[in-house]
């Protein structure tokens, strides 16, 4: 068997290109790691400053004030300073990969960091991971374009930025690489994998150097995995699949509802009023919620759920009810934060919901006679289950929790729970929360290279304008003169305002074009016809390809608002398709 070096497709002359790609991966990992550390610390200390002296057990009216202020500042910053939408970080990356040739706007290297700081430090119920991932990916996109790399290399650097960001946040380099492969849907090849590994390892090292060996979540397992508990982990997987479905559907419903508000101020007032009321009643919804989750998983359940408006909860049933309210309303609070104008992501909320639901599930199971399952294990595995379902990324969930716990002692239950969660949600929802809207608009890049290349092709870039035009009132003799000067066997028929009226196909009139007696007797309108179908310059290339196939035509007219623009030919589409496929598949 012949061994092929992962970069063997590069010639000797392109060695400098390969080195440039690897060096940029290292630089991106360094910058992404620094960004992650900086933003996590900035939000942490801002949050501590703003919440200093909060009395969780009695409620605090600052809960009613801070989230609206933070989201309001975010809206003003986005609208008047950046003048662009800076929310939905991961979806924005996927859109750039699918539809913008990897171009992420340069302001995303800092704008989502600033917006998320105001949103989350002031109590918005979202996570910092998506803004940091967008920042890292924007750095990768910027450097890739700055050094004139090709499309494939730019996409790799976008993934390197995302991997560096995740590794910098969680000090979890393996998870970081898997996230880019699974969520950003990069190809699993050595050419892709090596830059991702360089970036994630570099970012994790930066985080270790600046923040020490401790990680965001570090858990010492009290109990290992027992095979007789496996059925409970499988049930947990199915239930977290339904929790993930609720998470996805509720988030999209609330965001769609708020998107219908035309008045930004009214949207902000409505969303933040509801959000503040929820946080006041359930203080655990304030901010990312990692501190609450950490205490919860370390068996401080009763103390934490008593930090709510309802006062002391003395019975196990009421504690379970409180936990149910917390994970249910966390999803709503997160969606209200984003819907009202805040900037953040769903990474932290999915971990939060999964952890709380895991404790909720364990408490319910432990009410049954002769049964006792470990709450901490169920919480950790529940986090993987909800992440796997919401993101449609079971491997990301599995390896993140494994790296949180410093080993693979829970690997078997993690696999079963994440797998059953994923298999449950895809029955009802085939797309993740990141890809749902992109898929609905036909803008989603997948692992299908043929489909991806078709999505990258644009009708507007393939329009041919070297086809002659003529009026329908013209005679056959005038048409012959146009044909004599034409390079093509088609003549477009338009009126004086360039409205498209049909075509004349030269092959259809070969029997009369040499008959001079007919030159003044036959009009163009007698021999023209309206072709079917026609295409729009904004149409997807997949639709255009289908029209070529169904009609059997070799040329299709491009029309917009009735106006003639040009033609798109099967030959040119195929030629451009072959060119892009070669570049895209250059592994």
Residues 55 and 203 in one domain: yes
Residues 204 and 234 in one domain: no
| Range from 177-186, 203-212, 220-229, 477-486 carrying the lowest mean pLDDT | 220-229
| Residues 474-489, mean pLDDT to the nearest whole number | 87
Q: How confident is the model at residue 13 (pLDDT cuts 50, 70, 90)?
A: very low
Residues 300 and 423 in one domain: yes
Q: Do the domain assignments include residue 434? A: yes
58: pLDDT strictly greater than 60: no
Give the domain-ending residue among 181, 211, 241.
Answer: 211
313: pLDDT strictly greater than 80: no
Residues 396 and 273 in one domain: yes
In this structure, the strands spanning 469-470 and 490-494 are parallel
60: pLDDT strictly greater than 60: yes
CATH number at 434 reads 1.10.3080.10
The DSSP code sequence of 244-281 is: HHHHHHHHHHHHHHHHT---HHHHHHHHHHHHHHHHHH
Residue 291 burial by Cβ neighbours in a 10 Å radius (0-12, 13-18, 19+):
middle
The tokens for 264 are 């930004």
Q: Do the domain assignments include residue 2? A: no
Residues 405 and 361 in one domain: yes
Residues 246 and 380 in one domain: yes
pLDDT tens digit string along 334-371? 999 999 999 998 988 999 999 999 999 999 998 888 77
Identify which of 157, 161, 207, 169 has the alpha carbon closest to the alpha carbon of residue 347. 169
Give me the pLDDT at residue 7, please. Answer: 45
Q: Do the domain assignments include residue 220? A: no
Q: Do the domain assignments include residue 5? A: no
112: pLDDT strictly greater than 80: yes
Q: Do the domain assignments include residue 27? A: yes
119: pLDDT strictly greater than 80: yes
Residues 566 and 524 in one domain: yes
| Range from 96-105, 163-172, 450-459 carrying the lowest mean pLDDT | 450-459
d(CA 565, CA 536): 9
Residues 384 and 526 in one domain: no
pTM exceeding 0.75: yes
Q: Do the domain assignments include residue 219? A: no
Q: Which domain holds residue 46?
A: 12-211
Give the domain-ending residue among 421, 446, 471.
Answer: 446
11: pLDDT strictly greater than 60: no
Length of the chain: 587
d(CA 393, CA 385): 10
Residues 266 and 384 in one domain: yes
172: pLDDT strictly greater than 60: yes
Residues 205 and 264 in one domain: no
The DSSP code sequence of 356-372 is: HHHHHHHHHHHTSTT--
d(CA 248, CA 460): 35
pLDDT tens digit string along 91-107? 888 888 877 878 899 99
Identify which of 28, 20, 29, 25 has the alpha carbon closest to the alpha carbon of residue 139. 28
Give the domain-ending residue among 446, 464, 490.
Answer: 446
159: part of which helix (H) or strand (E)? helix 151-170
Give me the pLDDT at residue 65, please. Answer: 87
Residues 418 and 473 in one domain: no
Could you tell me what percent of the chain has a pLDDT over 90?
Answer: 36
> Looking at the 3D structure of the chain, how many domains does it have?
3
| Residues 28-41, mean pLDDT to the nearest whole number | 92
Residues 523 and 411 in one domain: no
SS3 label, residue 445? coil
**How many other C-beta atoms can be found within 10 angstroms of the C-beta atom of residue 485?**
7
| Residues 194-206, mean pLDDT to the nearest whole number | 94
């Amino acid at each position: 068997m012949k061994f092929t070096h992962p970069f063997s497709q590069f010639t000797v002359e392109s060695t400098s290109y390969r080195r440039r790609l690897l060096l940029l991966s290292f630089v991106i990992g360094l910058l992404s790691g620094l960004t992650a550390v900086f933003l996590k610390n900035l939000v942490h200390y801002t949050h501590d400053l703003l919440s200093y002296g909060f009395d969780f057990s009695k409620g605090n009216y600052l809960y009613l004030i801070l989230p609206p202020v933070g989201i309001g500042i975010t809206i003003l910053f986005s609208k008047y300073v950046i003048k662009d939408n800076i929310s939905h970080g991961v979806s924005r990356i996927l859109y750039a990969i699918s539809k913008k040739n990897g171009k992420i706007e340069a302001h995303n290297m800092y704008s989502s960091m600033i917006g998320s700081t105001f949103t989350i430090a002031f109590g918005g119920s979202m996570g910092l991971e998506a803004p940091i991932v967008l920042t890292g990916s924007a750095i990768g996109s910027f450097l890739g374009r700055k050094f004139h790399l090709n499309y494939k290399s730019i996409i790799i650097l976008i993934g390197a930025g995302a991997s560096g960001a995740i590794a910098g946040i969680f000090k979890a380099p393996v998870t970081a690489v898997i996230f880019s492969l699974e969520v950003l849907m990069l190809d699993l090849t050595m050419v892709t994998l090596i830059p991702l590994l360089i970036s994630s390892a570099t970012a994790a090292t930066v985080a270790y150097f600046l923040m020490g060996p401790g990680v965001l979540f570090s858990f010492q397992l009290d109990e290992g995995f027992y095979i007789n508990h496996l059925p409970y982990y499988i049930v947990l997987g199915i239930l977290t699949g339904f929790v993930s479905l609720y998470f996805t559907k509720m988030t999209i419903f609330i965001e769609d509802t708020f998107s219908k508000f035309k008045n930004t101020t009214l949207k902000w007032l409505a969303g933040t009023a509801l959000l503040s009321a929820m946080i006041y009643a359930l203080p655990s919804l304030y901010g990312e919620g990692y501190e609450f989750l950490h205490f919860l998983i370390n068996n401080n359940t009763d103390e934490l759920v008593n930090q709510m408006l309802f006062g002391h909860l003395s019975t196990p049933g009421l504690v379970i009810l409180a936990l149910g309210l917390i994970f249910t309303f966390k999803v709503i609070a997160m969606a209200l934060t984003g819907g009202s104008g805040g900037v953040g992501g769903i990474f932290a909320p999915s971990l939060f919901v999964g952890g709380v639901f895991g404790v909720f599930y364990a408490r319910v199971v432990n009410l049954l006679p002769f049964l006792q399952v470990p709450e901490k294990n169920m919480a950790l595995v529940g986090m993987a289950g909800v992440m796997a379902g919401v993101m449609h990324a079971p491997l990301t969930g599995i390896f993140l929790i494994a790296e949180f716990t410093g080993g693979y002692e829970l690997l078997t239950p993690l696999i079963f729970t994440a797998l059953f969660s994923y298999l449950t949600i895809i029955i009802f929802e085939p797309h993740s929360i990141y890809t749902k809207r992109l898929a609905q608009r036909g803008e989603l890049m997948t692992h299908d290279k043929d489909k991806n290349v078709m999505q990258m092709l644009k009708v507007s870039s393939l329009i041919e304008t070297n086809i002659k035009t003529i009026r329908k009132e013209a005679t056959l003799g005038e048409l012959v003169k146009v044909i004599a000067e034409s390079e093509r066997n088609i003549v477009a028929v338009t009126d004086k305002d360039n409205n498209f009226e049909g075509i004349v196909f030269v092959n259809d009139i070969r029997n009369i074009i040499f008959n001079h007696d007919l030159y003044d007797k036959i009009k163009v309108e007698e021999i023209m016809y309206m072709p079917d179908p026609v295409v729009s310059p904004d149409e997807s290339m997949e639709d255009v390809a289908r029209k070529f196939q169904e009609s059997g035509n070799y040329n299709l007219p491009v029309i917009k608002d009735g106006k003639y623009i040009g033609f798109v030919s099967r030959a040119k589409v195929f030629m451009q398709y072959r060119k892009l496929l070669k570049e895209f598949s250059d592994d």
